[in-house]
Structure 1
């Protein structure tokens, strides 16, 4: 069985990775660790490491100006392309470290995509790779929280042509077959 495990690059998804790792070891499944970089996640490197700004689609830094506080005179030291390349490398490294820590003995590949439509990217990757199902973490937000901040997993469930396994934040490690029929 081939599974796409979609992760957001934060520790929030690690319980899902731990659960799927136990299951994959017991079933001999192949796992694709996949993460989508959203443009709002991209942070430029600046001359002072303690400062980071969001990069707009136009390639300029954005940030909040506090009245009465002089802004730092940090200089952005990379362009949007360099930021994207660095962010891809950092996310790949995170996924590889997760794979080596949790998925020992499992066939694992790592993929990183980018774009504003995270759910669409996950669904396309699942179709391109011909996976049997998609697994992903949920944050356990309330309905109000989901309405305010959105929920990628809901869009994936609506758009996917394969089953989607949602793993809650408090799940225990799976150790046996999961019947998806």
Structure 2
């Protein structure tokens, strides 16, 4: 029977703290990994053309000329930014997959969404993993209240058992 393990990453060093745990799980027979990365939606990038302001002094017999800078313009649409981010996440996950023991069965999925926890929960409903492995960033107090916790949202959803790894726990074991 295949044991599906969903592991989430956000390109932070905190998220990579789960790698030693995944390497141990990979030793189990029939472990099949779904490596999932979800990034928040970008807005697209704007650029202001850098048109210099030119002034020729009247002292040199010239007129004073002022050229106004051009207004900002969109250099990357939101869909282009999303496609770029998905591609970067897929590359990142492929590199993570290479750090698992040779022969480990895994697939990679990259998503961009305004609510990463919702994507993780929905993918877990579809994949029905035996466990979701996630890192905790260690935010507490006001910061956690203001920004929330993706890990906490996934745990509270009850969609699957969640193994939460705190980066400090992994460092202490070494």
Give the TM-score normalised by the residue count of structure 1. 0.72
State the alpha-carbon separation in 1 of the partners of residues 29 and 142 from structure 2.
37
Aligned ranges 1:45-56 → 2 under 5 Å:
none
Q: Which has the higher strand share?
A: 2
In structure 2, the partner of 1:151 is: 149
8 Å CA contact retained: 2:26, 2:100: no
In structure 2, the partner of 1:3 is: 5
8 Å CA contact retained: 1:134, 1:165: yes
Q: 1:16 to 1:47 in 2, by over 3 A?
A: farther
Of structures 1 and 2, the one scoring higher in RCO (CA 8 A, sep 6+) is 1
State the alpha-carbon separation in 1 of the partners of residues 128 and 46 from structure 2.
37
Larger Rg: 2
State the alpha-carbon separation in 2 of the partners of residues 17 and 145 from structure 1.
26
Q: 1:16 to 1:121 in 2, by over 3 A?
A: same
Aligned ranges 1:1-181 → 2 under 5 Å:
1-40=3-42, 44=45, 76-172=74-170
Q: 1:39 to 1:25 in 2, by over 3 A?
A: same
Alignment root-mean-square deviation, CA: 2.6
Unpaired segments ≥5 residues, structure 2:
50-68
Unpaired segments ≥5 residues, structure 1:
49-70, 174-181
Equivalent pairs, count: 150
